[in-house]
Amino acid sequence: MHARFSPSASKRHLTCTPSLLLEEQFPDSISEFAEEGTAGHALAEHLIKKYMKIRSKRPTSDYYTDELVDAVEDYVSFVMEKLKGVENCYPMYIANVEQRVDVTSYVADCFGTADMVIATPDKLQIIDLKLGKGVHVYAENNTQLMIYALGVFDEVEPIFDIANVELTIH
Protein backbone atom coordinates (compact mmCIF):
# COMPACT_ATOMS: atom_id res chain seq x y z
CA MET A 1 0.00 0.00 0.00
CA HIS A 2 1.34 3.40 -0.96
CA ALA A 3 0.52 6.74 0.60
CA ARG A 4 -1.26 9.24 -1.59
CA PHE A 5 1.38 11.80 -0.63
CA SER A 6 4.37 9.57 -0.15
CA PRO A 7 7.60 11.06 1.16
CA SER A 8 9.49 9.34 -1.67
CA ALA A 9 7.49 11.39 -4.22
CA SER A 10 7.48 14.57 -2.14
CA LYS A 11 9.94 16.48 -4.33
CA ARG A 12 7.64 16.05 -7.34
CA HIS A 13 4.51 16.81 -5.33
CA LEU A 14 5.96 19.92 -3.72
CA THR A 15 7.35 21.19 -7.03
CA CYS A 16 4.20 20.41 -9.00
CA THR A 17 1.26 20.09 -6.63
CA PRO A 18 -1.28 19.22 -9.39
CA SER A 19 0.72 16.05 -10.08
CA LEU A 20 -1.07 14.50 -7.08
CA LEU A 21 -4.37 14.69 -8.95
CA LEU A 22 -2.91 13.83 -12.34
CA GLU A 23 -1.30 10.64 -11.00
CA GLU A 24 -4.65 9.32 -9.81
CA GLN A 25 -5.76 8.60 -13.36
CA PHE A 26 -2.93 6.13 -13.92
CA PRO A 27 -2.68 2.64 -12.39
CA ASP A 28 0.18 1.97 -10.01
CA SER A 29 3.08 0.35 -11.79
CA ILE A 30 6.44 -0.89 -10.60
CA SER A 31 9.57 -0.42 -12.70
CA GLU A 32 12.38 -2.93 -12.91
CA PHE A 33 14.54 -0.38 -11.05
CA ALA A 34 12.00 -0.31 -8.21
CA GLU A 35 11.89 -4.13 -8.11
CA GLU A 36 15.68 -4.25 -7.87
CA GLY A 37 15.62 -1.57 -5.17
CA THR A 38 13.04 -3.54 -3.19
CA ALA A 39 15.25 -6.63 -3.39
CA GLY A 40 18.28 -4.63 -2.24
CA HIS A 41 16.36 -3.14 0.68
CA ALA A 42 15.17 -6.59 1.76
CA LEU A 43 18.75 -7.87 1.80
CA ALA A 44 19.96 -4.78 3.69
CA GLU A 45 17.19 -5.18 6.26
CA HIS A 46 18.11 -8.83 6.80
CA LEU A 47 21.82 -8.09 7.23
CA ILE A 48 21.24 -5.21 9.65
CA LYS A 49 18.78 -7.28 11.68
CA LYS A 50 21.36 -10.07 11.80
CA TYR A 51 23.91 -7.59 13.20
CA MET A 52 21.32 -6.37 15.73
CA LYS A 53 20.59 -10.00 16.70
CA ILE A 54 17.00 -9.79 15.46
CA ARG A 55 15.70 -12.95 13.85
CA SER A 56 15.27 -12.59 10.10
CA LYS A 57 14.99 -14.94 7.16
CA ARG A 58 17.53 -14.31 4.39
CA PRO A 59 15.64 -13.11 1.32
CA THR A 60 16.26 -14.43 -2.17
CA SER A 61 15.90 -12.63 -5.48
CA ASP A 62 16.85 -12.93 -9.12
CA TYR A 63 18.08 -9.32 -8.79
CA TYR A 64 20.97 -10.26 -6.51
CA THR A 65 23.92 -9.56 -8.78
CA ASP A 66 27.44 -9.03 -7.48
CA GLU A 67 27.00 -5.30 -8.10
CA LEU A 68 23.79 -5.08 -6.06
CA VAL A 69 25.12 -7.24 -3.22
CA ASP A 70 28.31 -5.14 -3.06
CA ALA A 71 26.26 -1.91 -2.88
CA VAL A 72 24.05 -3.34 -0.13
CA GLU A 73 27.04 -4.63 1.85
CA ASP A 74 28.67 -1.19 1.63
CA TYR A 75 25.49 0.41 3.00
CA VAL A 76 25.21 -2.20 5.77
CA SER A 77 28.85 -1.60 6.78
CA PHE A 78 28.12 2.13 6.97
CA VAL A 79 25.07 1.52 9.19
CA MET A 80 26.99 -0.91 11.41
CA GLU A 81 29.72 1.69 11.97
CA LYS A 82 27.06 4.21 13.01
CA LEU A 83 25.49 1.64 15.34
CA LYS A 84 28.84 0.70 16.88
CA GLY A 85 29.53 4.37 17.59
CA VAL A 86 26.15 4.76 19.27
CA GLU A 87 26.48 1.50 21.25
CA ASN A 88 29.87 2.62 22.58
CA CYS A 89 28.70 6.08 23.64
CA TYR A 90 25.11 5.78 24.84
CA PRO A 91 23.54 3.42 27.37
CA MET A 92 20.12 4.21 25.88
CA TYR A 93 19.30 4.65 22.21
CA ILE A 94 16.74 3.66 19.61
CA ALA A 95 17.72 1.80 16.44
CA ASN A 96 15.05 0.72 13.96
CA VAL A 97 15.54 -0.78 10.54
CA GLU A 98 12.77 -0.23 7.96
CA GLN A 99 10.73 1.92 10.34
CA ARG A 100 7.26 2.95 9.21
CA VAL A 101 6.98 6.72 9.56
CA ASP A 102 3.56 8.29 9.89
CA VAL A 103 3.29 12.00 9.10
CA THR A 104 -0.51 12.17 8.79
CA SER A 105 -0.70 14.72 11.60
CA TYR A 106 0.91 17.16 9.11
CA VAL A 107 -0.30 15.88 5.74
CA ALA A 108 -3.29 13.61 5.19
CA ASP A 109 -2.34 10.12 3.99
CA CYS A 110 1.39 10.76 4.29
CA PHE A 111 3.54 7.88 5.46
CA GLY A 112 6.56 5.93 4.34
CA THR A 113 9.39 3.71 5.49
CA ALA A 114 12.73 5.03 6.74
CA ASP A 115 15.49 2.56 5.96
CA MET A 116 17.44 3.15 9.19
CA VAL A 117 16.62 5.29 12.21
CA ILE A 118 19.04 5.85 15.06
CA ALA A 119 18.09 8.14 17.93
CA THR A 120 20.24 9.02 20.92
CA PRO A 121 19.56 11.45 23.78
CA ASP A 122 20.80 14.36 21.64
CA LYS A 123 20.79 13.26 17.99
CA LEU A 124 18.43 11.79 15.42
CA GLN A 125 19.97 10.02 12.42
CA ILE A 126 18.02 8.83 9.40
CA ILE A 127 19.93 6.85 6.79
CA ASP A 128 18.41 6.09 3.40
CA LEU A 129 19.66 3.45 0.98
CA LYS A 130 19.62 4.50 -2.67
CA LEU A 131 20.91 1.98 -5.17
CA GLY A 132 21.52 4.46 -7.98
CA LYS A 133 19.32 3.28 -10.83
CA GLY A 134 16.24 4.86 -12.34
CA VAL A 135 15.60 8.28 -10.81
CA HIS A 136 18.52 10.47 -9.71
CA VAL A 137 18.27 11.46 -6.04
CA TYR A 138 19.90 14.57 -4.61
CA ALA A 139 21.17 14.53 -1.04
CA GLU A 140 20.97 18.28 -0.52
CA ASN A 141 17.55 19.47 0.68
CA ASN A 142 16.12 15.98 0.27
CA THR A 143 12.43 16.37 1.11
CA GLN A 144 11.88 12.64 1.60
CA LEU A 145 14.36 12.51 4.46
CA MET A 146 13.14 15.82 5.87
CA ILE A 147 9.61 14.42 6.05
CA TYR A 148 10.87 11.21 7.67
CA ALA A 149 12.79 13.32 10.20
CA LEU A 150 9.64 15.25 11.05
CA GLY A 151 7.67 12.06 11.71
CA VAL A 152 10.41 10.29 13.64
CA PHE A 153 11.20 13.42 15.66
CA ASP A 154 7.59 13.50 16.85
CA GLU A 155 7.95 9.88 18.03
CA VAL A 156 11.27 10.22 19.86
CA GLU A 157 10.89 13.76 21.22
CA PRO A 158 9.02 12.57 24.34
CA ILE A 159 11.96 10.24 25.07
CA PHE A 160 15.00 12.28 24.01
CA ASP A 161 15.85 15.97 23.86
CA ILE A 162 17.06 15.93 20.24
CA ALA A 163 19.39 18.82 19.46
CA ASN A 164 20.72 17.63 16.09
CA VAL A 165 19.27 15.83 13.10
CA GLU A 166 21.54 14.07 10.60
CA LEU A 167 20.07 12.93 7.28
CA THR A 168 22.20 10.63 5.13
CA ILE A 169 21.68 9.18 1.69
CA HIS A 170 23.95 6.24 1.08
CA distance 5 to 10: 7
Q: Could you tell me which of 2, 95, 88 has the C-alpha nearest to residue 45?
A: 95
The pLDDT confidence band at residue 107, using thresholds 50, 70 and 90, is confident
Cβ neighbours around 27 below 10 Å, total: 4
Contacts of 76 (CB under 8 A, 6+ apart): 44, 47, 48, 51
Element (H, E) at 156: helix 143-156
108 DSSP assignment: T
Q: Is 113 helix (H, G, I), strand (E, B) or coil?
A: strand
The pLDDT confidence band at residue 116, using thresholds 50, 70 and 90, is very high
Q: List the single range of 79-88, 96-105, 130-139 with lowest mean pLDDT.
A: 130-139
141 or 156, higher pLDDT: 156
